Structure 1
Amino acid sequence: MFNPSHAQSVIDHALAMGADFAELFIERQIRSTVETLTGKVKDINSGIDFGIGVRLVFGFKVLYGYTNKADVNELKRIVSDLAAKDRRDPTVTLKAFKYAQYANIHPATKVLSHDHQVASKIEYLLAADDAARKANSAIEQVSGSVGQREQAIEIFNSEGLHAQDTRHYIRARTTAVATNGDEQATGYDDDGGLLGWELENRLNAKAMGEEAARMAMVNLGAKACPSGRMPVVIGNGFGGVIFHEACGHLLETTSVAKKASVFHDQLGEMIANPVVNAVDDGTMANEWGSINIDDEGMATQKTQLIKDGQLVNFLADRQGSLKTGLARSGSGRRESYKFAPTSRMRNTFIEPGTDSFDDMISSIEKGIYAKRMGGGSVQPGTGEFNFAVTEGYYVEDGKIQYPVKAATLISTGPQVLKEISMVSDDFKLACGMCGSISGAVPTTVGQPALKVDDILVGGNA
C-alpha cells in the first residue's frame, strides 16, 4: 500500500528530531452492512476508509497523529508538529526494513474486495426474520443485520519492521421483540468470526430466528427477580463478559504499568479459586478476536493469564513492556489509524473444567441461573461491576423453577474470582466489541458455565 522508500524518508525525519522510536500504521478498510426490519430490507450501506497513523516515542512519552493523505510532505509535517516540544539531538538511527513473513492462520474466501454478496445476505436475514415471527404470534418486531469489514494494514517502524496483514470480519444478528399488550421483551441470537461470508455455511436462519423468539418469550413471561446475596450459576459463552470486563482489563499493561490495577503487584500470587484457568489467545482459527499479527506488527500468540488460580502473566504491548519489563504478548491493538495502540485482549476466556452443569444447579438451595449476560458498568482499577442478566432463572432446591427479569450481578472482579467453586465442560465463545483508550476492537469472550458461591444479586421482587 505504501512505498517503503517514502516510509524510510518519514521515519528518518522523525529520528532526526530525536525520537527514540517512530512508526507508520497504514490502513485501508472496506465496510458493508445489510439490515432488515420485520420482513423488509431496512438499509444497505458500504464505504471505504484510508488513513495513516504516525507514532513517535520520546522515552515513555507517546505522541500520535494521523492523516488521510499518503503524501510524504504531509507526513513529515505531522512529525514536525508532534515533535516540536520534545525535539532533541538524534539518539537512534533507522534500521533497514526487513519484510516480516507471517502465516495466515485465519483464511477467508467470500471477502468484500471480491463481492459484497448483498443478495445472499438479504435472503438469509429475511429467512431468519420469517422464522422468528412464525415461532410465536406475540413476536411483534424482528430486526436483523449482517456487518462485514475488510481491514488491510501495513506497518513500518524505526526498528526495521515492515509487516502487512488483511483481516476479514463478519457478524450476523437477529433480534426479536415480543409483546403481550402491556409489556415488551427482547431476545436475540448472533454469530461471527474472522472470516468472510462463508460464515453462512454454519449459520441456520431458522434456528437463529427461533432462538431470538424463544428468548423474547421467556423474558416476556418472567417474574421479578429476588435480591440479596446468593449462589449464581453463570452460563457459558457471553457469560465470560464478566471476566473480560471486571478482570481482563486489570491484566493489561495499559492499567498495570500505571499501577491502576489491583493486580499490578500480584504476579505469581493466588488471585482465584484453583479451579480457575484463564487464557487470552489470538491464534484460534477464524475466531472473532483473533489476529495474525497485532497492530504493532508482532505475531499473535496464546497467553496463559491464570493457571490453577495463580496469576502467571499480563498482556503487554511495546510501551507496556518498556514500562514494566514484561515480555510483549502480541496484544498491541487499535481500532484504526486514528488511534495509537495499547495492550488489549483478543479471545479471552475461562477454560473448561470437569464439573457438570446439572451438578451445579443441584447444589443450589436458593439462587439464580444467569443463562445469558448483557452489558453493565465496571470501575477501572478495582474491577467493581454491575452487569445485567438478559436471560435468567430462579433456582430452588436444586431445580430451575421459573424465569426472572431485571436481575443484576454486583461484585468485583477480584472477589468473584475467589468465589468460583465449580467450572463445567460446556465451553462456548461469543463475539463482542471492547472499548478502551485505543478505541473499539473485536474481542471474543467465553467460558463454560460456572458456579459463583456468593454474589450480590439485584432484583425488584
Structure 2
Amino acid sequence: MLDEALVSELLKQARRGGADFAELYVERWRRRALRVLSGEVKEATSGIEYGAGLRLFYGTEVVYAYTNDLSPEGLLELSETLVRLKGQAGQVDQAGRGGLDFRKSVAQGLHAPAVPLSAKDKHYRLERLLEAEAGARVAPQIKQVQTQLLEWEQEVLVANSEGVWCEDRRVRTRLYVTAIAQDEGGLQTGVAGPGLSVGLELFERYPPAEVGRKAGLQALTNLRAKPAPAGTMPVVIGNGFGGVIFHEALGHLLETTSVARKTSVLADRLGEKVAADCVTYIDDGTTPHGWGSSEFDDEGRPTERTVLIENGVLKSYMVDRWGSLLTGYQPTGSGRRQDYTFAPTSRMRNTFIAPGKTPKEKLFEGIEYGLYAADMGGGQVRPGSGEYNFAVKEGYIIRHGRIEEPVRGAMLVGKGPESIKRIVAVSDDLEMGPGMCGSLSGSLPVEVGQPHLLISEIVVGGQA
C-alpha cells in the first residue's frame, strides 16, 4: 500500500523526535449498501476511504493524528506535527541510520470469501433481498418489510518502529431484515440480521427467504403477545444474541481500556472466583469467518483465543499495547479501531459463554414461574460497574416448567458481575450473533454468543 522506504523514514523521523515507539496504520475501505423497502430500492451506495494514522508513545503518554493525504510530503508533515506537539524535534536520535529491518507478516486468507463480492452483479443482490422480503410476508398482518445488504472490504497495513510490517485483508457481509406487523392493537417489529466475515456465500449459509421468515414470525409473535409481568424471577436467556448482556455488562469490564484505569470492578482480580462454576467466558479473534474475526489486530499482532473466565475463575483480560504498558499484562491481539481516524484500544472480537452440559429442555424444569428471553434487543450499561437494563425482543412466560404465552415489553435489569454468579446451568447449543459495538476506538463489528442458560433470578421490568 505504501513504499517501504517511506514508511521506514516516517517511523525513524518520529523516533529521532524523541518517541519511544512509533506506529503507522494505513487502510483502504470499500463499503456498499443496498436497501429495499417494500419492494422498492431506497438506497444503493458505494464508497471508498483511504487514509493513515500515526501513533507515538512517550512512556505511557500517547499522541495520535491521521490524514487522507498519503503522499510522502503529507505523511512526513503528519509525523513532524506530532513531534512538534512534544517539543522535542531534533533533540534525540535513537533510531540510527539506514532503514528499518521489517519482519513482514501477510494474511494467509483464513477468513477469505468463497464467493468474492465481485463475483455477482447488483441484480443478483437485489433478487436476494426480494427473496428475503417474500419470506418475511408470512401473514396479511405483515404490512412493511425492509431488507438491507451491507458489504465491507478492508485492506490494512500496520508498521512500527520495532520492525513489525503486517498486512491484513478483511471482507464482511451482512443481511438485515426488519418486518412490521399491524392489527387493531398496534404495531410490532421483528428483526433478523446474520453477518459473517465471508463474501456472497452468506446467502448459502443463511437463505434469504429463511432470514425473512424469522423476522416476520417474530413480528407476528409480538403482535399477539400480552404485556410482560414485573418482578424478580428466574430467567432462561436464549442462545445466540442473548450473549449481548454479558458482552456489554461483563466483557467491557475485562478490557484494559477500563482495567488499566481502575474503573472496572473486575480490575486486579486475576485468579479470583468471579462467576459460577459452570461459566467459561472466551473472546476469540480466530473464529473461522466470525463477524469479529481477523488474522491480525489493528496493532499488527496475530489475533488469538483468550480464555477470560474459566470455570468461574478470572484468568485473563483483553490487552492492547497501551494497556500492557500500564498493567504489565501481555497483549492478547485485542487492539482494534473503527478506522484510521481512531487510535486503537482493547476491544472484544467474538465473545461468548462456552457450551455446558445441560440439555436445553432441562433448564426449564422446576421453574414454577419465570421468563424465557428467547431473543434480546438493545439496552444500556453503566461503565465500570456493569449495571444494565436490556430489552427482550421476544419473550415467553415459563409456567410449571413449560414455555407458555408470549409477552412483550420485558426489560432485564441487573449487574453483570452479579448476574454471572447466578447462572445455575448452561446448555450445549452455542450460537453466535453479529452486532456493532461502540467504545473509545469507534464502532466495531463483534460477535456475541452463548448457549441457552438459566439465571436463578433477575429483576424483570414490565407491567406489574
Normalised by the size of structure 1, how large is the TM-score?
0.97
Cα deviation, residue 189, structure 1: 1.4
Cα deviation, residue 410, structure 1: 0.5
In the alignment, does 2:16 pair up with 1:11?
Answer: no
Cα deviation, residue 116, structure 1: 6.0
In the alignment, does 2:215 pair up with 1:212?
Answer: yes
Distance in 2, Cα, partners of 1:401 & 1:191: 27
* Larger mean Cα displacement after TM superposition, 142-151 or 67-76: 67-76
Q: Which residue of 2 aligns with 1:96?
A: 101
In the alignment, does 2:425 pair up with 1:416?
Answer: no
In the alignment, does 2:245 pair up with 1:280?
Answer: no
Distance in 2, Cα, partners of 1:92 & 1:398: 69
Query: Alignment partner of 1:291: what SS?
Result: coil
Distance in 1, Cα, partners of 2:92 & 2:409: 60
Q: Which residue of 1 aligns with 2:373?
A: 370
Q: Which residue of 2 aligns with 1:82?
A: 82
Distance in 1, Cα, partners of 2:22 & 2:308: 30
Q: Which residue of 1 aligns with 2:429?
A: 426
Distance in 2, Cα, partners of 1:397 & 1:232: 13
Residue identity matched to 1:132: A
Call closer, same or farther: CA 1:69–1:115 in 2, change over 3 Å: farther
Matches within 5 A, 1:6-85: 6-85=6-85
Residue identity matched to 1:336: D
**Per-residue CA distance 1:295-335 (angstroms, 9 max, x = gap):** 01111110000100000000101111111111110110000
Query: Alignment partner of 1:218: what SS?
Result: helix
Q: Which residue of 1 aligns with 2:229?
A: 226
Cα pair 1:39 1:130 within 8 Å, conserved: no
Percent identical among aligned pairs is: 44
Cα deviation, residue 85, structure 1: 3.6
Query: Alignment partner of 1:217: what SS?
Result: helix
Distance in 1, Cα, partners of 2:3 & 2:183: 62
Cα deviation, residue 91, structure 1: 6.5
Structure 1 vs Structure 2 CA RMSD? 1.3
Distance in 1, Cα, partners of 2:445 & 2:135: 28
**Number of equivalences:** 459
Cα deviation, residue 244, structure 1: 0.5
Call closer, same or farther: CA 1:15–1:321 in 2, change over 3 Å: same
Query: Alignment partner of 2:87: what SS?
Result: coil
Normalised by the size of structure 2, how large is the TM-score?
0.97
Query: Alignment partner of 2:52: what SS?
Result: strand
Q: Which residue of 1 aligns with 2:172?
A: 169
Residue of 116, 123, 133 corresponding to 1:129 = 133
Cα deviation, residue 451, structure 1: 0.4
Residue of 118, 122, 132 corresponding to 2:122 = 118
Distance in 2, Cα, partners of 1:365 & 1:182: 30
Cα deviation, residue 9, structure 1: 1.5
**Per-residue CA distance 1:193-219 (angstroms, 9 max, x = gap):** 111112122122221121111100000
**Per-residue CA distance 1:73-131 (angstroms, 9 max, x = gap):** 2222222222324233336427422212443211214334x356321111011011112
Distance in 1, Cα, partners of 2:199 & 2:233: 43
Matches within 5 A, 1:138-153: 138-153=141-156
Distance in 2, Cα, partners of 1:102 & 1:335: 19
Query: Alignment partner of 2:215: what SS?
Result: helix
Cα deviation, residue 362, structure 1: 1.9
Task: Give unpaired runs (5+ residues) of structure 2.
Answer: none
Residue identity matched to 1:80: E
In the alignment, does 2:364 pair up with 1:361?
Answer: yes
Task: Give unpaired runs (5+ residues) of structure 1.
Answer: none
Q: Which residue of 2 aligns with 1:2?
A: 2
Query: Alignment partner of 1:418: what SS?
Result: coil
Cα deviation, residue 355, structure 1: 0.9
Query: Alignment partner of 1:197: what SS?
Result: coil
Query: Alignment partner of 1:216: what SS?
Result: helix
Residue identity matched to 2:327: T
Query: Alignment partner of 1:105: what SS?
Result: coil
Distance in 2, Cα, partners of 1:100 & 1:208: 38
**Per-residue CA distance 1:416-459 (angstroms, 9 max, x = gap):** 01000010011100001111100111100000000010111100
> Which 4+ residue blocks in structure 1 deviate beyond 4 angstroms?
none
Cα pair 2:285 2:350 within 8 Å, conserved: yes
**Per-residue CA distance 1:254-291 (angstroms, 9 max, x = gap):** 11000010000111000000000010011111110111
Query: Alignment partner of 1:145: what SS?
Result: strand
